[in-house]
Structure 1
Amino acid sequence: MTKTDLRRHYRAARKAFVAALPASERERLERALADVVAPVIGGFRMTGSYAAVGDEIDPVWIEKRVGPHAFPRITGPDILFHQAEWSELKPGFQSIPEPPATAPVVQPDLLLVPLLAVTLNGVRLGQGRGYYDRALAALRRKQPVLAIGLAWECQIAPALPAEPWDMPLDMVATPERLVDCRKSR
């Protein structure tokens, strides 16, 4: 399958999975995700997160545990992370909630990463524009960053194609498990 086919397949699988969940079950699973990652998210200076859209798994319960955190803002071909509160977010690029340009730009050392699909060795399939690959590469050039991909279990792929510029994730978390991808590399 091409990356386009894979995106279509995993987008449909995620949509069907979430559509079948009662709202209370979705919240229970997203709270479980926060419990799963709790052992590894302490001790970081700044967490970069994201505002979930549609059927993406929502990191809000993780955000409540980490203190100050930052959200991505698209600036041309790149993402910059701005420290902000949820109340400050406004629809931005493709109507994705983002912080104002005036919010402080920060360098996260923990990054929660959205995705369409992921392997257990950290190969991530995103939306296809490379924003997170470029952002993660730029952050890693400045300091160590722990990148955790957040997914529903239906987004775990047996294999995915990887390009030289694709940035591997360090960990993958679902409501059911936390996998340290670095152990398989």
Structure 2
Amino acid sequence: MGLIIRLPPDVLASVDLHANGRSGPATSVAKSVAKAVPLNEQPTERQQLRRAMRSRRAAFTGALAPAVRGALESALVHALPRLGPPAILGSYAAMGDEIDPQALEQAAIAAGWQIAFPRVTEGPLSFHSAAYAALTPGYKGIAEPPATAPLVRPDTLLVPLLAVDRAGNRLGQGKGHYDRTLAALRASGPLRAIGLAWDMQLLDSLPAEPWDQPLDAIATPTLFHTPSPRAKAGA
């Protein structure tokens, strides 16, 4: 089930709905990349998808005027009422072509949420209460809170991604940081994981592995989608 958001025509025109993979399964995206790879060096399907989606996302954001990109990212604020009652919201510092959640974070703070950001560890990510301005470059240049910032457990988590499907299956960067983190947090108590994406990152289907942790909801600039329990179970 999904909530559709209305955007101004000039902003909506920049949401590339025809090049976002909705016209066919994600495997068609991967096949177009595989043709350029020698047979003896064929990557896995998921590696192909990552390469394809990085390229497509870069092309999408590269075509956006700064004002339009800012308007699309600000449109994520529509998800605020769907986050639930104010508690601790785990977020992330966007890198490169990732959709930036700062507007949603600021709206959440105004509504009474406490914001936490992740630090990369050898195991699950650790989350620390901190202001965005306090973040400094850490693992691979990703902005992170100081190690001395208060350690907290998010009740709701905003999750970055390369691609996602309508069943809530997520394709990340391939290091497993968020799969390990979601598994650990879910083992310790209730958690709502919401993937943030450009509309062109929402695909019809994605290959999933047994260890993959599905998302509970997906927010884009134009919609809020909650996968059905049947879809998340893979039925």
The TM-score, its normalising length taken from structure 1, stands at 0.96
* Aligned counterparts of 2:228 and 2:107: Cα–Cα separation in 1: 24
Query: What is the CA deviation profile of residues 126-180 of structure 1, one whole-angstrom value per residue up to 9, with x for unaligned ones?
Result: 0001100111111111111111000001111221111111100000111010100
Unaligned ranges ≥5, structure 2? 1-29, 31-44
Unaligned ranges ≥5, structure 1? none
SS state at 2:94 partner:
coil
Report deviation, 1:66.
Answer: 1.7
Which of 187, 195, 212 aligns to 1:149? It is 195
Give yes or no for the alignment of 1:163 onto 2:209: yes
Q: Which residue of 2 aligns with 1:7?
A: 50
Which of 51, 57, 60 aligns to 2:93? It is 51
* Aligned counterparts of 1:62 and 1:127: Cα–Cα separation in 2: 23
* Aligned counterparts of 1:136 and 1:28: Cα–Cα separation in 2: 30
Q: Which residue of 1 aligns with 2:139?
A: 93
Give yes or no for the alignment of 1:27 onto 2:70: yes
Q: Is the 8 A contact 1:44 1:110 kept in 2?
A: no
* Aligned counterparts of 1:163 and 1:83: Cα–Cα separation in 2: 32
Report deviation, 1:76.
Answer: 1.7
Q: Identity over aligned residues, as a percent?
A: 51
Q: Is the 8 A contact 1:170 1:182 kept in 2?
A: no
* Aligned counterparts of 1:34 and 1:133: Cα–Cα separation in 2: 25
SS state at 1:181 partner:
coil
Q: Which residue of 2 aligns with 1:16?
A: 59
Q: Is the 8 A contact 2:169 2:208 kept in 1?
A: yes
* Higher Cα radius of gyration: 2
Q: Which letter does structure 2 place at the counterpart of 1:101?
A: A
Q: How does 1:131-146 map to 2 (within 5 A)?
A: 131-146=177-192
SS state at 1:78 partner:
coil
Give the CA RMSD over aligned residues: 1.1
Q: How does 1:80-119 map to 2 (within 5 A)?
A: 80-119=126-165
Which of 222, 225, 233 aligns to 1:179? It is 225
Q: Which letter does structure 1 place at the counterpart of 2:187?
A: R
Report deviation, 1:39.
Answer: 2.1
* Aligned counterparts of 1:39 and 1:182: Cα–Cα separation in 2: 19
Q: Which letter does structure 1 place at the counterpart of 2:173?
A: Q
* Aligned counterparts of 1:179 and 1:86: Cα–Cα separation in 2: 27
Q: Which residue of 1 aligns with 2:4?
A: none
Report deviation, 1:44.
Answer: 3.4
* Aligned counterparts of 1:82 and 1:143: Cα–Cα separation in 2: 18
